[in-house]
Chain A
Amino acid sequence: MEDVHYVQTAAAKASARKKFNWYFWGTLFILPEIILFFIFLWVPILKGIFYSFYNIDFVDGNHFTGLDNYISIFQGELLLTSIKNTLYYMLLGVVLGFWIPPLVAIAVTELKWFQGAARIIGYLPSAVPAIVLYGMWMWFFDAVGPINSFLQTIGLQPIEFFSPHMSMISIVILETWQSFGAATLIYIAAIVSIPRELYEAAEIDGASVWQRIRHITLPSIRTLMLLLLLLQLITTSQGFQAQLSMTDGGPNNATLTYLLWMNHTAFRDLNFGKASAMGSLMFFVLILLSIVYNLLQRRSEKA
């Protein structure tokens, strides 16, 4: 009886040691990542939340101001303007930009010749440095630039690309042009991984190109499309670079997104406390959205 107990204890100890070794080495391997995340992600996040309750003064030291920074965010009329603009920008991103990469990817994979060249050409805009991109599109959108010259040649009225109604659309057009290549490559990778037999069988059954796309390609990349949609929404909710470079939020705040307002608050008004509060609010909203997304995903998995 004692022997059995001894064997059981020894086995338990060995198992515990094995488990410990497993976790110890595993933890050791991810330690560098934990340290890097801690220094460059978690500490800034926590410090941002901490500073949001302070008036930041690099010379005389910070002063605790309670909720003043948060109150000043909600009191100003720019909060509503910037949220409306951000939502509009996100919506335009979906309406004008989201469908282009899958469309191009399907078109490229349907090509019989020059597929490699088409992929490279599609990806090239992503390789253009942002500063060159903005300069280039300033010229494209110019009153005597190529787009307006073309429109006038065919007898149409020129477009004022930076009018209050057009400015956000213009920004989304240039951003779509810049970033569709990367998303297209992801879609192409997904499409080429669809088993060829499905297409061959469909072709034997006499399916047209449209039917192949409708019944094989689109259902196969549906999950990827949902994922990229989510990623696009997260990215566009934090958009400000193009707005900063092209219009600096104008005309009359028509392109002032929430993050651009935060950027102005920190680096133009030099109010780092209020900017931290704005960042913290954004952080909590994104966390909330992530929770909602996870709940929805779990529900759909159960179903």
Chain B
Amino acid sequence: MKGKKATAFSTIALTVLLTACGTSNTTNNSAASPSAASATPAASASAATATPAPAKKITITAESFKPDQKEKNDQLDQRISRFKAKNPNVEFKKDDWQYSPLEIGVKMASNSAPTEYTTYATEGKVLVDKKWVADITDSMNAWSHAQDMNDLLSKPFVVNGKTYGVPIDGYVMTITLNKKLFAQKGVPLPPMDWTWDDLLDAARKINDPAKGIAGFIPMGKGPEAGWNWTNFLYAAGGDVQKIDNGKVVVTFNSDAGLKALEFYKKLKDENLIPQNWALGYGDALSAFAQGRGAMVMCGSGNAADTAINEGGISKDDLVVYPIPSMTKGGKHTGVLGGNYRVINPKADKETQQMAFKWITDEYFTDEFLTSTQKEIEDRKGKNRVYIPQPINYWKDSSDFGKKYADLLAKYDNVFKYDPQLLSLWDGKPEAQYEAQKYYAEMANVIQKVFTTKNVDLKKTLEDTSNKVQSEVFDKVKIE
């Protein structure tokens, strides 16, 4: 009898619980449903034509900075004041959460992501596929500066003709060289228009395993291993995927892919890389900053930033090179990356539109330049170097671009890129579909190459491409 009662009670409890779960979902749906959202502006528009009603109160949760970044938070407060003077109906809350791929899912599930936040190019497709970023095409088209934006940089957040993010700045993947290590070994710097052989040659000369110094530090742990390797795939003229008859088809198993893998095998066979393959993004940059490698591959200024501002290496001891071309005269193609401001789709349409206005409010204005100037001066006061991104949301040839260049030229604590780099490199956006899963699979291949002798490269690449095709790309539905 007791057993029956317990069973009955459990059943009721479970039913209540599951119903509760269901209810909360329904509520979320209705709040987030596009039809519900789209109804709001129409209603407000008709109200606006009838009587000039006071503007609706809108609250934006803006991305702020951690408390120790006082200067940046002060600048944000001033920016908020300037914005509120122009838009008195807007209230601001601040959230110092910084985007993390491991946290965004939880943030969306708990509906606690800020109204707008900064993310990066590699996340574009994932966020769009998951519908975790709002479609801002209408706002972008209506914006007076839409035509002034840098087209190349906008690409990663334009999917199927719709815009999902506002570019801030960007880069093409590069290789940063520690000039001091070259000088210590008496090795001349390779030409900037370098090739894979030049890289190998330099790595051989500088490599010193007994002292724990590697010629070149490729990332080997996590999806970033696949991301790093893809630069060599691109430089060899290859690609990750193509669209064929409405289906995504693997192409990284091409001759270019094999060549890129053979290059990685050479690095390993000649012992030119760190013995510990398990270096993720942060590990690789730290190793470089500690002087444990002469060359490292990452987004343009990031290795320099870590090496200078954390590792204490002088900015004059570093130089940024493009990804080497496979053969002389070839292209220096690397993965295009960057930072983007995106808007939370769970906000209602009016809030989304206001958030867009907030994001772009000071684009192409003197206030933007003033805030950059303050950051450079703040860093100078702390004896730190400002590392600008080499690509920005504006076109370098524009008047605004020239003003920005003049501003940077005034300070000696600004890292400078060789002008030849900007003319040599060639940025190529990431794979449009399931790039992260492809990177994760390729990471396994790279780890195999880095840890196993006599790997059959062609077979390994073929096996992986078959797996990616059947388990990942075949499941993609192209809209």
Q: Is A76's CB under 8 angstroms from B471's CB? A: yes
Quick one: which of A58, A138, A246 has the most chain B CB within 10 A?
A58
CA distance A247 to B279 in the complex (A): 8
Near B by CB (< 8 A), chain A positions 59-101 give: 59-62, 76
| Range of interface residues on B (Cβ < 8 Å) | 35 or more
Q: Is A248's CB under 8 angstroms from B17's CB? A: no
- A85 CB to closest chain B CB (Å) equals 14
Is A235 in contact with chain B by the CB < 8 A criterion? no
Residues A162 and B277 in contact in the complex (CB < 8 Å), given A59-B346, A62-B25, A252-B447: yes
**Top 8 A-B residue pairs of the complex, sorted by shortest distance between their CB atoms:** A144-B212, A251-B447, A143-B275, A61-B29, A59-B131, A251-B451, A58-B108, A250-B447
Q: Is B451's CB under 8 angstroms from A58's CB? A: no
Residues of B with C-beta under 8 A to A269: 436-437
Is B314 in contact with chain A by the CB < 8 A criterion? no
- Listed in ascending order, the chain A residues whose CB lies under 8 Å from chain B are 43, 46-47, 50, 56-62, 76, 138, 141-144, 160-164, 167, 246-248, 250-253, 264, 266-270, 272
7 A-B pairs (CB sep. < 8 Å): A61-B28, A138-B276, A162-B278, A251-B277, A251-B451, A270-B126, A270-B130
Quick one: which of A62, A142, A250, A253 has the most chain B CB within 10 A?
A250
Please give 8 more A-B residue pairs, beta carbons under 8 A apart, in addition to A59-B345, A138-B283, A268-B101.
A46-B18, A50-B21, A60-B29, A61-B26, A144-B211, A160-B275, A252-B445, A253-B444
CA distance A272 to B110 in the complex (A): 14
Is B388 in contact with chain A by the CB < 8 A criterion? no
CA distance A81 to B25 in the complex (A): 35
Of the stretches B167-175, B190-198, B219-227, B349-357, the one at the interface is: B219-227
- A232 CB to closest chain B CB (Å) equals 25
Residues of A with C-beta under 8 A to B216: none
Q: Is A264's CB under 8 angstroms from B108's CB? A: no
Q: Is A142's CB under 8 angstroms from B212's CB? A: yes
Q: Is A252's CB under 8 angstroms from B451's CB? A: yes
Q: Can you list, as one digit per residue, whether each of B437-474 has a CB less than 8 Å from chain A (1) or not (0)?
A: 10010011101101110000000000000000001000
Residues A250 and B221 in contact in the complex (CB < 8 Å), given A50-B18, A144-B210, A270-B130: yes
Q: Is B274's CB under 8 angstroms from A143's CB? A: yes
Q: Is A58's CB under 8 angstroms from B210's CB? A: no
CA distance A161 to B444 in the complex (A): 18
- B272 CB to closest chain A CB (Å) equals 13
Q: Is A163's CB under 8 angstroms from B28's CB? A: no
Is B280 in contact with chain A by the CB < 8 A criterion? yes
CA distance A294 to B436 in the complex (A): 44
CA distance A253 to B445 in the complex (A): 10
- Listed in ascending order, the chain B residues whose CB lies under 8 Å from chain A are 14, 17-18, 21, 25-26, 28-29, 32, 101-102, 104-105, 108-109, 126, 130-132, 209-212, 220-223, 274-278, 280, 283, 345-346, 436-437, 440, 443-445, 447-448, 450-452, 471
Residues of A with C-beta under 8 A to B29: 60-61
Residues of B with C-beta under 8 A to A163: 451
Nearest residue, chain A, Cβ from B209: A143
CA distance A267 to B440 in the complex (A): 13
Residues A59 and B444 in contact in the complex (CB < 8 Å), given A144-B210, A248-B278, A250-B278: no
Residues of B with C-beta under 8 A to A138: 276, 283
Residues A162 and B210 in contact in the complex (CB < 8 Å), given A250-B277, A250-B444: no
Quick one: which of A46, A268, A272 has the most chain B CB within 10 A?
A268
CA distance A46 to B20 in the complex (A): 12
Q: Which of A160, A252, A266 contacts B105 (CB 8 A)?
A: A266
Residues of A with C-beta under 8 A to B211: 144
Nearest residue, chain A, Cβ from B26: A61
Residues of A with C-beta under 8 A to B280: 248
Q: Is B448's CB under 8 angstroms from A162's CB? A: no
- B108 CB to closest chain A CB (Å) equals 4
Residues A272 and B105 in contact in the complex (CB < 8 Å), given A46-B17, A164-B452, A251-B448: yes
Nearest residue, chain B, Cβ from A267: B102
Residues A43 and B212 in contact in the complex (CB < 8 Å), given A76-B471, A164-B452: no
Q: Is B28's CB under 8 angstroms from A268's CB? A: no
Nearest residue, chain B, Cβ from A143: B275
Q: Is A58's CB under 8 angstroms from B277's CB? A: no
CA distance A50 to B17 in the complex (A): 10
Q: Is A248's CB under 8 angstroms from B221's CB? A: yes
Q: Is A58's CB under 8 angstroms from B21's CB? A: no
Nearest residue, chain B, Cβ from A263: B102
CA distance A59 to B274 in the complex (A): 43
Q: Which of B126, B445, B451 contacts A164 (CB 8 A)?
A: B451
CA distance A164 to B220 in the complex (A): 14
Q: Is B276's CB under 8 angstroms from A46's CB? A: no
Residues A58 and B28 in contact in the complex (CB < 8 Å), given A142-B212, A250-B220, A270-B105: yes
Nearest residue, chain A, Cβ from B467: A77
Q: Is A59's CB under 8 angstroms from B440's CB? A: no
Residues of A with C-beta under 8 A to B220: 250-251
- A196 CB to closest chain B CB (Å) equals 48
Residues of B with C-beta under 8 A to A160: 275, 451
- A214 CB to closest chain B CB (Å) equals 43
Residues of B with C-beta under 8 A to A60: 29, 32, 131
Q: Is A141's CB under 8 angstroms from B276's CB? A: yes
Residues of A with C-beta under 8 A to B105: 58, 266-267, 270, 272
- A239 CB to closest chain B CB (Å) equals 17
- A248 CB to closest chain B CB (Å) equals 5
Residues of B with C-beta under 8 A to A58: 28, 105, 108-109, 130, 132
Residues of B with C-beta under 8 A to A61: 25-26, 28-29
Residues of A with C-beta under 8 A to B221: 247-248, 250
Q: Is A264's CB under 8 angstroms from B277's CB? A: no
- A79 CB to closest chain B CB (Å) equals 13
